[in-house]
Structures are given as structure tokens and as C-alpha cells.
Structure 1
Amino acid sequence: MRRALFPKTKVGAVFLLLLFFLAFGCSGCWSAVEIEQMSFISVVGVDFISPQELLVSFQIVNPRALAGGAGGAGGGGGNEPPVIVLSVRARTVPDALAKLASESPRVVRFKQLNAIVLGEELAKKGVAQVMDFFARHWEMRRSIWVLIARGSAEDVLLKGAPLQEKVPGMAIKMNMERSDELAPVRYPVRLGDFLSDMTRDGTDAIASSVEVGPMQEARTDNSSKEQGGDTKEQATTGEKELVFRGAGIFNGDKLVAFLGPQEARGARWMRGNITGGIYTVPTPPQGTWASLVTERAEVRIEPVITKDDIRFRVKIKDDGYI
């Protein structure tokens, strides 16, 4: 008597199912996109043009420029820029993304998005509609950094050259993530926290400001003074860099003011998210200055309720050394 190849048992049935899934499951995913066919966006900037139009700038990583130097074994792009900035006029951010996707030969992806830069004019008009896109898109991580441009977001993406990093988006990410043990004069905030603060009652959203500045500070020309003339300041020309100092403060979804570096430090102090810093204060008896290095800070806020108003008493305890 000849036995069946697969007896009618539970073991045989399971074996047949395994063969079925191996045959059809290993043929690949129908929706898979090869990495060579993807276009990775590093930074997105949004500016206000009119009530019916936005300017959305996409900073896209150029893989050929990052592969290696000119003539190198990595097949690098020589003098090609490490990033490419494409600006699109559209009514909404999704509309701009659709226009970009229709012209790009690659599939646009936000998996490597490091930062969102909101233009100053847009922030003053209100960012609720723009942020709604970033809150809903399936590729957006809550850990993306949010920054407010002093001026145009497009200028930040086009003209800002980061120090020591080729990709501006990576430079922003590293700058926001690094510890502020020496100069806590920025207010780093992630997308998730920014959205929560913007919609939570009794809380105002705050985000670091970014601008484009010269690589070197303006220097004073003393030659005219030595010849009996007035002192002149000569602005250093050349490449511009990304400058992070101060922050923008919101009322609801609208920017109401910019905080200076010291005010941003005070805001971080008030919210208890400061880890240290160097504070230089005058010492009148010696007629000089002293630097206080703070290693740890504790903040306690107590409400003081009276008949006429409500005030807050802030107690700050710093541990450090001179």
C-alpha cells in the first residue's frame, strides 16, 4: 500500500501552510521602496506670503555629495552641495508636498526630518493650520525640533551654513540635543512638547529662535581713531552661519514676542529645565568681574493669593563654584 505524501494529520496541514507562506511571502513586499529611490528631507521651512498662499521650503539631502570627495573611491559629487533647497508656493503644506512629489524623480520621505523652521511672519499670523499637518502625518516623530526664524525660514535653509557639519538639519539636531552646561541661552523644544504647550490651557508655547549671522563678529577698526578720526566698525563679510540664541514665545498659536538670550535662560529657570551655566557678575570691592559656574539648580514656585490679585514667589537654589 502506497502512503500519501502528506498524511491527513495536523502536522501535515501545518507543513502545507508553511510551504504556502514561504512560496508567496518571500517574493517581497508590494509596497517596498528601495533606498536608492527615496529622497530624504532634513529640514522643512514654512513662510507666510498671503492668506491664500504659503512658501514651503524643503531641504533635501544630496547623497552624491555625502558619498565622498571629488575623485574619491566613494564616487562623491565633487563640488556638489550636501543639501538642495526646493521652495514651493502652495495654499497648504500638503499641497506643497504634492507639488514637490510630482516633480521629484524619487519618493519623498520625512523619516530623516530633523527640524521644522517657522517663519516670523507666519508665526505672528498663527501656526495652527501648519502644525496640524505635522501632527497628523504618519512619518512625523514627536522628537523633531521646532524653531522660530527671526525673519524668513527660507533664508535660514538657503543661507545658513552650519559649523563643522555638512548637513544643516543634522547640525540643528546636534545643537538642540547637546547639554547647555555653559550657556543655556536657547530654549530647545520638540514637536510633541510644542503641540502640547500650544493647546494646553494656562501654558504658553516657547521655541528656540534661529537666525543667519556672519561667521565672525563685527570688528572695530582703530586705525581711524589713531589718526584722529572716529572709530569705525567693519562687518566681516563671507559665509553665514546658523545662530541659536533667544526664543519665541506664543499666546495660543501666535507669536507675540522674542525673548533675548538672558530672558530665555530665565524662562528655562522658571520651568525648571536648566542644568547649569556660567553667570558673570560685577564685584564692586575689587572693581572686576567674577564668573559663577552653576552645576545644579532647583526651582520652586509658590502662588501668593491676595484679595486683589495672584502673584508667584520663585525660589531658586543654585549649587556651583566661582
Structure 2
Amino acid sequence: MEIDVKCVSDLNKNEINLISTDYLLEYQPASREKGDVGESNNNKDEYSYLIPPLLIYKDQVYLPVFGRDIIEKQFKKLGKLRMALSIFRYKNNKILFRYLLFLKKSYLGFNQVEKAIFLKRFKDSVGQNIYKDLEINPKSVSGYEKLLKASDKIKNDLVTGKINEINLFEIFYLFERNHWDKIEDFVVRLKIGTKKRMEVIDMIYDITQRDNLSPDALINIPEISKVWEQKIDPPQKGERIYAILFGRRYPEITSFKKDFYKRLKHLRLGKDIRFQIPPNFEKWEFNINFHFRDLKEFKERITKLQSIMESNNFEELLKMRF
């Protein structure tokens, strides 16, 4: 028999060691606020109906694997655990992994912390195939390993979707562990996209390395603190803080951009003509867009563009180089 699993019932508190985490392979956020949705998103009552708690019987006592919160709930309400599945014997860790993986994927689903727990427990016995089984990019293994060392606050933010694992693993990669919480909290407060968050993380690292600053000192500079106090929408705060960090990381580009926009205003394009510049002037290539409703407006826009093209201001603008 490769694995021996049986149904057990009416277990008392002294028969289960709920303190033990030796075989515990689940992670639930400390608190679920309304609207917080993690990767698992399992309702606890649905959990108990779909699959009962899973235990492992070892040294004359049951140890929790899945469903510890259900066990605690039933002990509190009933004084006993009505029913559970228990593993009594298994051939080897590979067989155990396959069985637990089947249960997780089929009934419960994984969140990122649970993947990290599985990875730590079974990596040595399962081998490289574990990455495919857990749907983990091998390049992210270091991030998953460090995740288990992170605070509960960080784990909760990841599971509930407040931060993307790509952003979080970048923090793990660039910074010492004692800085993780403050940087992660700072990034979570920035209501900007994943790409810009990644840029913020990288800029914090680059600036602190160049200027010999601590991350805490940088993210609490007066300019940033003032933005947090402003009565504007969270996304606006995020964009302004991004601009502050960008200006500090790339002062020459920022200065050039200000001068360029200042000269661009002299062209007086109006609201109907848009002059688009490449991001951070990576290419000296521009786009002009304009709106029109009929042939008359089309001719007006063309005439205006012709006039702008022949002006000294436009010629001087195009002579600029970063």
C-alpha cells in the first residue's frame, strides 16, 4: 500500500496536537477584511463540506495538515472533531507529496505562501519536477524560499492581493531582511501599476546605494511625507511620489524634460493637437495626434501644424538633445 488514508471521527482535543506545524501545509491570512480576496479565496464552511480536515497520525497523536481552522471551530462549538481524513502510513515523501498535491489542486487551491511551504518540505525528496507541479518559475525559487522568512503582514498582503509577487520578490532580492517590511508597506501604499511599482523598488535601491542612504531615510524624506499629507486621490499621490523618486534617481533626465516641456508650451498647440514624446527620451522620435470633425477642421489643423513647423520655436525644440 503506497498510502493509507482513513476516515476518523469524534476526536477529542487531547488526541490532536494543534500546536504542531510539522506537517501543516496551509496558510490563511490573519484577518480577512471585506473585499480582500486572496488567491485561495476559500470559504471556511465550504472547505469543511468539500473535504474534511486532513491529519497525519504519528507517535500516537494526530497532527494537522489541512483545515486547522475547521478543527478549532468544531472544538469550540462541539468540543470534538466530528470527522476528518487521516494519513496513517505512506511509502515515501514522493507519494505523500503527490497525494497532498492532488487534494490541494482539486479541492482547495494554492496561495503563494502555501506553495512556499510545499517547496520547502518536499523539494529535496521530489527534485526539480516540483517546480512544474507547483507551477513555480524556477527563477522565482529564491523568492518563495525567502517568503517563509517574511513577516505575517507581508504574507497577508501577498495572499490578499495587495502586492504582486513579482514586486515582492524584487524587494527580497535587493534589500536586507530588516528593510523588507518598511519598503513593502511603502510600495503597497502606492496605488500605481505593477510596472511602476517595480521601477519604484529599483529606484529606491539605486538611490540608496549611490547616496549611501538607508531605505527608511529615503522613503521618509520631507518631499514624500508632504505628498502623503495632501488631500488628493491615492493614485495621484502614487504618481507624485514616483515623480519625486524619478527626479532624484535621474536628475539630468528630469531637468531636460522640464526644459523640453517649457519650450513645447511655446508652440501653443492647443487642446486639439497632442505632441507625444518617448518615455524618458529613450528614442528621439515623436508622435503628433489631432482631432477633427469635418474637412474644415482638418484643414485648420494642417494649417496650424504648417505654421508651427515653420516657426523658430519648433526648430529650436527639435535641436535639443539629451
Task: Tell whether the structures are fold-level matches, with TM greater than 0.5.
Answer: no
- Higher helix proportion: 2
- Higher strand proportion: 1
Classify the TM-score, shorter chain. under 0.3
Computing the radius of gyration from Cα coordinates, the structure with the larger value is 2
